Chains A and B, each alone.
Chain A
Amino acid sequence: MHIADGIVSAPVIATGFALMGALAYATTRNVELEEIPKISVVTAVFFVANFIHIPFVVASIHLIMNGLAGVILGKRAFIAITLGVVLQSFFGFGGVSVIGINAVMLGGGALLAYGIWQLRHLLPIKGGEVVFGALAGGLGIFFSGCVLALALVTTGDAFWVTAQAVLGYHLVLMVIEGAVTGACVGFLLKTKPELLSGWKRPDQ
């Protein structure tokens, strides 16, 4: 979920941009030429996936899919998500002044998802990829919810209840995103496993 303009305070905005700059710099060193189109694809799919709605009891929830970006791009997911957020803000979704905080929130979740995805090597069970894919997708978005709640709470006490609602919403989102990401990883594993980050040919 995004935050819009005009909500969080100036120090939170500044912190967001500072963190975004640092993370973007750290994760985009030595980008190869052929990576540029690949990163852009994930940015565009991330952008488009935000228009997919899933029914939930009475309301409908739109997918975020930042965890999946981490599973596919590894650490390069941060810049992909950041640019997705920047473009969304240009089109009036999200906000321009909060690009920094939105990028850290969603891109940070993607980096965490990548970390969890990498843990699958520690537990080599059958179908472990799907399990770790689901965990990555779920915890990736939950991290975003925590950052959002933190940004609201540090802005002022007035947002205390709003922050709690945000956390609750992200608990639901965590289950949905986890299931979709897990299913997507399972599907990619069967059809085009080289898309997943860190994939090696079985004979190597």
Chain B
Amino acid sequence: MALEIDRYAHVESSIQRWDPRFKLLTLFILIFVLASLRTIPLTVVGAMLSVGLLLVSRIPLGFAFSGLKWVILFLLPFFVILPVTYPGTEAHFMGIPFAPEGMRLAMLIVLKSFSIVIVALVIFGSRRFDVSMVALHRLRCPQLIVQMMLFTYRYIFLFMDEMQRLDTAMKARGFVKKPNLYTLKVMGGFIGTLLIRSFERTERIYKAMLSKGYQGQLPSLIEFKSNARDFIKAGLALMVAVALLAGDWLAGFQVAEKAWY
């Protein structure tokens, strides 16, 4: 999803209007519930719920897909590896071992990943990143962590550009990456240069911040006000999380009896 996760933060929706403190807390609980599911039917329900959440947030689907593409590419090999290598399998398909149980596991993994990435996108894509970080601070996340995340988020874009410039400069001098030691040595220098330039730049930023009175606090004008709607939305999300957890706990007894759902 590119690096500008909050590109569509201006899109009005009931998720966008949701108090980010409630949103962060309840949707993170939902993420951990989704991660702990163990049966296919429930993970399908979880995936459908997360897609529903995405539709409600009105974040463009194309943007969401550009982020999911990476996850899908990373997880596709599991569909090949797990069925073939699942231990103790007798079943064969066209001469190669093929375990339905391994297939089930691969499905489970992909569905869970898919729904969690979507929920994370809804959390951080529906508000400006700095607002989300201030909300995190109000939720008692240490100042140190919040500030470092804000700095890093800013630096990532700067350093990406810096890296592009370095890359262009190397290509202009005729450098081509090849699988040899020389390339690795050049890449070491490349990263070293990136580090030095980045450090010198941030030193200037830090001095500018000090001269403007920075003493370890980042005061914010953002005020959060919660109303009944925020509580209702949080209640709904928590109810879904508890229902999924209860469903998984009940289905948990059946996992051992029946392997395939």
Contact = CB atoms under 8 A, between A and B. Distances in A.
A54 to B, nearest CB: 6
Interface residues of A, number: 69
Interface stretch (B13-21, B146-154, B223-231, B232-240): B146-154
Nearest to B121: A92
B184 A183 contact: yes
A195 B199 contact: yes
Contact of A183 (B28, B159, B160, B185): B185
Pick from A83, A183, A195 the residue with the most CB of B within 10 Å. A183
Interface in A43-93: 43-45, 47-49, 51-57, 63, 65, 68, 72, 79-80, 83-84, 86-87, 89-93
Contacts of A31: 144
Contact of A54 (B71, B148, B156, B183): B183
Nearest to B162: A48
Interface majority SS on A: helix, strand, loop or mixed? helix
Interface residues of B, number: 77
A45 B188 contact: no
Given A89-B120, A184-B189, A41 B199 contact: yes
Interface string B192-228: 1111101100110110000000011000000000000
Contacts of B36: 10, 13
Given A4-B113, A48-B194, A56-B179, A161 B85 contact: yes
A95 interface: yes
B181 interface: yes
A45 B194 contact: yes
Given A41-B198, A48-B160, A49-B191, A176 B184 contact: yes
B191 A36 contact: no
Interface majority SS on B: helix, strand, loop or mixed? helix
A188 to B, nearest CB: 5
B110 A158 contact: no
Contacts of B1: 91-92
B191 A55 contact: no
B178 A55 contact: yes
A12 to B, nearest CB: 11
A181 interface: yes
Nearest to B110: A6
B70 interface: yes
Contact of A97 (B32, B183, B205): B32
A192 B195 CA distance: 10
A39 B113 CA distance: 30
A90 B116 contact: no
Interface in B58-99: 67-68, 70-71, 74-75, 78, 81-82, 85-87
A6 to B, nearest CB: 3
B5 interface: yes
Contacts of A37: 151, 202-203, 205-206
A5 B112 contact: yes
26 contacts: A5-B34, A6-B116, A36-B148, A36-B216, A37-B206, A38-B202, A43-B155, A44-B155, A52-B191, A54-B179, A83-B145, A91-B3, A92-B121, A95-B117, A96-B31, A96-B116, A97-B35, A160-B87, A179-B185, A180-B187, A182-B188, A183-B185, A184-B195, A187-B189, A188-B192, A188-B196
4 residue pairs, one from A and one from B, having the closest CB atoms:
A183-B188, A6-B112, A97-B35, A44-B155
